[in-house]
């Protein structure tokens, strides 16, 4: 299966459904410390952190920039900055997951 921005968006949404979500950092450890999304100690991710991690895993860390950028552009097409949206007070995990899915739909409409 070809890695594309739509796949990455859907994979990130699924990842957040299955794992903990956080605000104010891309990822965090069980102790609540900020960490990189790819850190094996990470237990929770923000929307962009989940997007980064799924993109790195799908591409093996090589050449993921174009796929990642395409996903961010789809989110921007919704009028949303993912980091700001994710970190807005009273935002929910479900709302972030919904944005990732809606962005995947934007890309589906373009094909």
Instruction: Using alpha carbons, select from 83, 79, 77, 109 the residue that is nearest to residue 96.
Output: 83
In Å, how far are 9, 54, 73, 101, 107 from 78, measured between CA atoms? 14, 21, 9, 11, 11
The tens digit of pLDDT for each residue in 37-68 reads 999 999 999 999 999 999 999 888 776 788 89
The whole-chain average pLDDT of the chain stands at 93
* pTM score: 0.92
């Amino acid at each position: 299966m070809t890695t594309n921005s739509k796949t990455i968006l859907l994979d990130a949404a699924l990842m957040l459904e299955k794992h903990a979500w956080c605000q104010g950092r891309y990822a965090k450890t069980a102790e609540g410390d900020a960490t990189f999304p790819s850190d094996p100690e990470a237990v929770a991710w923000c929307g962009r952190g989940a997007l980064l991690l799924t993109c790195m895993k799908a591409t093996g860390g090589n050449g993921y920039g174009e796929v990642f950028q395409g996903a961010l552009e789809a989110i921007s097409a919704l009028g949303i900055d993912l980091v700001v949206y994710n970190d807005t007070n009273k935002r929910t995990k479900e709302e972030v997951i919904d944005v990732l899915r809606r962005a995947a739909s934007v890309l589906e409409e373009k094909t």
